[in-house]
């Protein structure tokens, strides 16, 4: 362009990338005596008015640039201030005079006032909020709700008595950051008992909400019964009964656990310690039909619980279907009555039949050939070992020096051998005063394995014992029970069930880091038969054998992973130049801790 020309543009943004760049371009054009005209903004630098407006824009741009620069410098200075204070305090500490014993008389530049385990709290509390457990328990802002949530999380992290939990939550004696994260402040034991009473009132509503969340019409419902021993003799629920804990002389309570098809706990009910398993079924049927409002339910239970009497009196009148197993006499009756022949299993593992003895029901028969072969091998080994011991008795009778004599003495020796391995039904012994006579044993014919019986189609169901084992012993530790009031005993058991509910969801998310099999579909595809032993997936076998996850991290159990997360601390820190003004710093997580928190989607606070 030449001197005196005018550059015409559609808009100023076509000429420069930014306002400062545009002003620089216009300044260069003015130096060359070239005008600028914008058709859209209607600004012409060849006129006095156009030059005025353009320079006003330029002044605003310069002001904005200086303002951004000033704010940036102020931000950098504010960010560096604590580090300058810490460095100044460190230099003062280095230059401080030494005391009589060679130690500095000045305080440390940076001191950790308190350090509390925090990672496991962030994981469990974050998971509880993620699944909405806090909202299920009660409304926000309710102190009883917060105390119950603290008790549930404590059951997962460190099961202990209410007194120990109270001390672990109080600020002065805190064992973790749980109390601070929930904003509980000082906590006393009576508050925890009041929270338990509040939870007992809320139990039906919480169980109903869990039922709506995890159960639907036409679903399987898993039910099992167990017992736990009690401490003391003052609780009306504590009675003598069938003791599953091996605690002789201890009173006990009985409780039944309802689970969804995937094993997630839904509801629990406590009964007197002398209650038999079948007697607990009627209340569960009523709960499923009335409280949960399910129109079609398949109840799954063992043959000791779903008996003929319970089917006739409780299950059939309620319109429920069921899955259970036949007892040995009923199976023997089917075989003797010709309901089926063992040749039916020559080319198959399972078969469905009907029988007049069980009208309206389908009987699912199965024969596990691998299990039958293993039982036959064990039985043959036991028979051979028994024959060797009986041969030793015969040798003792025939020996010349101090021989074994007398029908009674020989019978006692033979009885001890037979009872040791429970092989009496396989031998036809004749004992005389001079020797036991053992006729030749016929060859073993094997054994039959057939069950279960069910009116609806057969369904593969997950074990319920895992939930009860976790609640009783492994993780949540429902026992020992020290409460005396029946409602508090019920609330304690329900609290433990909610603890396992939280743990169950945490295990689902943390499965890639645990020894648990997180590829069950592949594992199921590896089974050669539906009655064959369940297999672990190749990924689970690799984790178990190498001890490493696919990304190279160590594999944990649930308990050891919680212990690892607990090493992530929340620290209260003070600096020497600003005493009395503490601030909080959370430790940097290790790769294991970071992955666990990411899987749980628990943000660090």
Do both 428 and 348 map to the same domain?
no
- Whether 304 and 223 share a structural domain: yes
pLDDT for 66 beyond 70: yes
Average per-residue pLDDT for the chain: 82
Rounded to an integer, the average pLDDT of 250-276 is: 92
- 52 in a structural domain: yes
Angle, helix 486-510 to helix 143-157, in steps of 10 degrees: 60
pLDDT given at position 195: 95
pLDDT of residue 603: 44
Kindly indicate the confidence band of residue 77, based on its pLDDT and cuts at 50, 70 and 90: confident
* φ/ψ of residue 471, rounded to 5: -70, -40
SS3 per-residue string spanning 450-495: CCCEECCCCCCCCCCHHHHHHHHHHCCCCCCECCCCHHHHHHHHHH
- Asked if residue 454 has pLDDT above 60, the reply is no
Selected residue with higher pLDDT from 441 and 517: 517
| Burial environment of residue 539 by CB neighbours within 10 A (0 to 12, 13 to 18, 19 or more) | middle
- The answer to whether residue 427 is domain-embedded is yes
End-to-end CA distance of the chain: 63
Could you tell me how many residues make up the chain? 605
- Do 521 and 557 sit in the same domain of this protein? yes
Does a structural domain hold residue 101? no
Higher pLDDT, 586 or 9: 586
Question: Is 452 within a domain?
Answer: no
Q: Quick one: 320 and 462 in the same domain? A: yes
pLDDT given at position 602: 59
- CA 543 vs. chain centroid, Å, equals 19
Average pLDDT over residues 454-461: 33
User: Cα 85 vs. chain centroid, distance in angstroms?
Assistant: 46
Q: Where are the alpha helices (DSSP H) in 353-432?
A: 369-398, 407-421
The pLDDT of residue 177 is above 90: yes
For 27-55, what is each residue's pLDDT tens digit?
Answer: 777 777 788 787 776 777 778 777 777 77
Q: How confident is the model at residue 457 (pLDDT cuts 50, 70, 90)?
A: very low
CATH of the domain at 479: 3.30.420
Cβ contacts of residue 114 below 8 Å, gap of 6+? Answer: 571, 572
pLDDT for 446 equals 44
User: Residue 464 above 50 pLDDT?
Assistant: no
Residue 93 confidence (pLDDT) above 60 = no
Long-range contacts of 311-316, Cβ-Cβ distance < 8 Å, separation of 24 or more: 313/282, 314/281, 314/282, 314/285, 315/281, 315/285
Same domain membership, residue 303 and residue 378: no
Res. 428: pLDDT tops 70: yes
Instruction: Find where tokens 């050939």 sit.
Output: 369
Distance (Å, whole) CA 603 – CA 98: 45
Is the same domain home to 36 and 52? yes
Find the angle CA(156)-CA(174)-CA(195) to the nearest 5 degrees.
60
What value does the mean pLDDT take over residues 489-502? Answer: 94
Q: What pLDDT, on a 0 to 100 scale, did the predictor assign at position 462?
A: 38
**Reported confidence tier of residue 3, pLDDT bands at 50, 70, 90:** confident
| CA atoms 478, 506, 466, 563: torsion sign | negative
Decide if 152 is inside a domain. no
CB atoms within 10 A of CB 10: 11
Which long-range contacts does 552-558 make (Cβ < 8 Å, 24+ apart)?
553/513, 553/591, 553/592, 553/595, 554/592, 555/513, 555/514, 555/515, 556/513, 556/514, 556/515, 556/592, 557/514, 557/515, 558/475, 558/503, 558/506, 558/507, 558/510, 558/514
Would residue 113 count as lying in a domain?
A: no
Cα 488 to Cα 481: distance, rounded to the nearest angstrom:
10
Full residue range of the structural domain in which residue 257 is found = 218-325+457-484
> Looking at per-residue confidence, does 110 or 567 come out higher?
567
As for how many domains the chain has, the answer is: 5
Using the predicted structure, report yes or no on whether residue 554 has a pLDDT greater than 70.
yes
What does the pLDDT read at residue 180? Answer: 94
Compute the average pLDDT of residues 217-236: 86
192 within some domain: no
Cβ contacts of 71 within 8 Å, gap of 6 or more: none
Q: Which two tokens stand for residue 507?
A: 């295990």
Cβ-Cβ contacts under 8 Å for 464 (sequence gap 6 or more): 222, 223, 224, 257, 259, 263
pLDDT at 402 over 70: yes
Mean pLDDT of 454-466: 39
CA distances from 140 to 134, 151, 228, 386, 442 (A): 8, 16, 33, 69, 74
CA distance 136 to 165: 22
Residue 522 confidence (pLDDT): 87
Strand order in the sheet with 35-38: 6-9, 35-38, 43-44
State the pLDDT at residue 394: 84
CATH number (domain holding residue 46)? 3.40.50.1390
Q: What is the pLDDT of residue 73?
A: 82
pLDDT at residue number 112: 87
Mean pLDDT of 359-375: 83
The number of CA neighbours under 13 Å toward the Cβ of 118 is: 22
Paired strand residues for 226: 255
Q: Are residues 351 and 383 in the same domain?
A: no
Q: Are residues 470 and 533 in the same domain?
A: no
Higher-scoring residue by pLDDT: 12, 524: 524
């091998």: which residue's tokens?
A: 377
Please state whether the peptide bond connecting residue 480 to the residue before it is cis, i.e. omega within 30 degrees of 0.
Answer: yes
Cα(532)–Cα(397) distance, integer angstroms: 47
Strand-pairing partners, residue 268, are: 257
The verdict on 339 and 273 lying in the same domain is no
Q: Determine if residue 249 is left, alpha or beta; phi over 0 gives left, psi from -120 to 50 gives alpha, anything else beta.
A: left
Do 297 and 356 belong together in one domain? Answer: no
Residue 571 within any structural domain of the chain: yes
Q: pLDDT digits over 561-582, tens only?
A: 999 999 999 999 888 777 788 8
Q: Of all residues in the chain, what percent carry a pLDDT higher than 90? A: 33
Measured CA to CA, the distance from residue 284 to residue 292 in angstroms comes to 11
Six-digit token string for 539: 């990924």
In terms of domains, do 374 and 470 share one?
A: no
Instruction: Reduce the DSSP state of residue 138 to 3 states and report it.
Output: coil
Out of 106-110, 313-317, 387-391, 515-519, least confident range: 106-110
374 in the same domain as 341: no
Which stretches does DSSP call E strand in 148-231?
219-229
Residues 358 and 327: beta-carbon distance below 8 Å: no
Cα–Cα distance, 539 to 525 (Å, whole number) = 13
pLDDT grade for 456, boundaries at 50, 70 and 90: very low
Using CA atoms, how far apart are residues 58 and 64, in angstroms rounded to an integer? 10
């Amino acid at each position: 362009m030449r001197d005196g020309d005018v550059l015409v543009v559609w808009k100023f943004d076509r000429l420069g990338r930014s306002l400062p760049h545009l002003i620089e371009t216009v300044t260069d054009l003015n130096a060359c005596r070239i005008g600028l005209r914008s058709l859209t903004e209607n600004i012409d630098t060849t006129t006095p008015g156009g030059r005025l407006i353009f320079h006003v824009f330029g002044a605003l741009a310069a002001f904005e640039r200086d303002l951004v620069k000033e704010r940036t410098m102020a931000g950098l200075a504010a960010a560096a201030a604590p580090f300058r204070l810490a460095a100044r305090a460190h230099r003062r500490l280095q230059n401080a005079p030494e005391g009589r014993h060679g130690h500095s008389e000045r305080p440390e530049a940076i001191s950790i006032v308190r350090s509390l385990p925090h990672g496991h709290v962030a994981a469990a509390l974050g998971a509880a909020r993620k699944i909405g457990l806090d909202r299920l328990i009660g409304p926000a802002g309710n102190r009883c709700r917060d105390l119950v949530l603290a008790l549930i999380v404590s059951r997962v992290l460190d099961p202990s008595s209410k007194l120990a939990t109270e001390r672990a939550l109080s600020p002065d004696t805190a064992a973790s950051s749980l109390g601070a994260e929930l904003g509980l402040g000082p906590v006393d034991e009576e508050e925890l008992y009041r929270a338990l009473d509040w939870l007992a009132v809320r139990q039906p509503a919480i169980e109903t909400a869990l039922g709506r969340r995890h159960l639907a019409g036409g679903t399987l419902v898993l039910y099992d019964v167990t017992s736990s021993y009690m401490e003391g003799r003052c609780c009306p629920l504590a009675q003598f009964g069938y003791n599953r804990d091996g605690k002789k002389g201890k009173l006990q309570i009985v409780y039944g656990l309802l689970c969804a098809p995937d094993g997630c706990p839904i509801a629990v009910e406590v009964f007197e310690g002398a209650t038999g398993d079948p007697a607990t079924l009627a209340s569960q049927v009523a709960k499923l039909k009335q409280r949960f409002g399910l129109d079609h339910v398949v109840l799954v239970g063992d043959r000791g619980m779903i008996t003929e009497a319970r089917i006739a009196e409780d299950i059939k009148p309620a319109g429920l279907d069921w899955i259970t197993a036949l007892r040995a006499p009923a199976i023997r009756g089917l075989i003797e009555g010709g309901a089926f022949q063992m040749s039916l299993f020559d080319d198959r593992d399972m078969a469905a039949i009907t029988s007049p003895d069980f009208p309206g029901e389908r009987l699912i028969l199965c024969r596990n050939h691998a299990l039958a072969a293993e039982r036959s091998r064990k039985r043959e080994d036991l028979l051979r070992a028994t024959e060797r011991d009986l041969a030793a008795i015969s040798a003792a009778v025939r020996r010349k020096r101090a021989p074994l004599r007398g029908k009674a003495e020989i019978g006692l020796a033979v009885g001890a051998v037979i009872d040791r391995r429970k092989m009496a039904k396989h031998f036809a012994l004749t004992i005389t005063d001079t020797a036991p006579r053992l006729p030749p044993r016929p060859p073993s014919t094997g054994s039959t394995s057939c069950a279960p019986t069910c009116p609806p189609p057969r369904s593969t169901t997950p074990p319920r014992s895992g939930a009860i084992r976790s609640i009783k012993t492994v993780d949540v530790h429902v026992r020992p029970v020290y409460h005396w009031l029946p409602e508090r005993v019920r609330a304690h058991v329900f609290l433990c069930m909610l603890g396992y509910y939280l743990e169950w969801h945490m295990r689902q998310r943390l499965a890639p880091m645990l020894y648990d099999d997180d590829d069950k579909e592949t594992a199921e595809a590896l089974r050669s038969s539906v009655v064959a032993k369940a297999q672990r997936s190749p990924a689970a076998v690799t984790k178990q054998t190498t001890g490493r996850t696919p990304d190279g991290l160590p594999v944990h159990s649930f308990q050891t992973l919680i212990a690892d997360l607990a090493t992530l601390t929340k620290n209260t820190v003070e600096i020497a130049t600003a005493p009395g003004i503490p601030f909080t710093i959370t430790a940097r997580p290790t790769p294991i801790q970071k992955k666990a928190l990411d899987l749980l989607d628990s943000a660090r606070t």
